[in-house]
Amino acid sequence: MPQYAGFLRSQSDSHDHLGPDEAQRVLESYIAWADERTKEGRFVGGGLSRGGRVLRGTGGEVGATDGPHTEATEIVGGYQVIEAVDLDQAEKIFATHPHLKFGPIEVRKIGERGCED
């Protein structure tokens, strides 16, 4: 079955207003969503560490800086991969994700080149 990634995007400060208890409940709702997709046989995996590196090519040289994009106002805070019949079904599944309270989810098919679903 085709796989689709949902990139969880948000403003860099979208969760700052949450107190510790509320932040824990949000995290638990994300985990519960993934657990439900696992029970359905759809969840493949996901997640990102808080840190990383950003590579930029300039004048034939590649430079690296600590990331993610600290200067960006909108960042990819994580991703999750599911299996779905097509993009329409993947959209319906990701439409139930609790992250939508904080920002958009970009859904893309994995493993194909070009403009297909």
Q: What per-residue confidence (pLDDT) applies to 116?
A: 52
* pLDDT value for 12: 63
Residues 92, 4: Cα–Cα separation, whole Å = 12
Residue 115 confidence (pLDDT): 56
pLDDT reported for residue 71: 60
Bridge-based pairing of strands 43-46 and 74-83 is: antiparallel
Which pLDDT score is estimated for 73? 65
The pLDDT tens digits for 94-106 are 999 999 888 889 9
Q: For 89, which DSSP code?
A: H
**pTM listed for this prediction:** 0.75
**Burial of residue 112, with CB atoms counted within 10 A of its CB: 0-12 exposed, 13-18 middle, 19 or more buried:** exposed
| Structural Rg of the chain based on CA atoms | 16
Chain centroid, CA 112 distance in Å:
19
pLDDT tens-digit readout, 10-52 = 776 666 788 889 988 988 998 999 999 999 999 999 877 777 7
Structure tokens at 113: 């080149």
Q: Supply the pLDDT for residue 16.
A: 73
Using one digit for the tens of pLDDT, what is the confidence trace for 48-85? 777 777 788 888 888 887 766 556 666 777 899 999 99
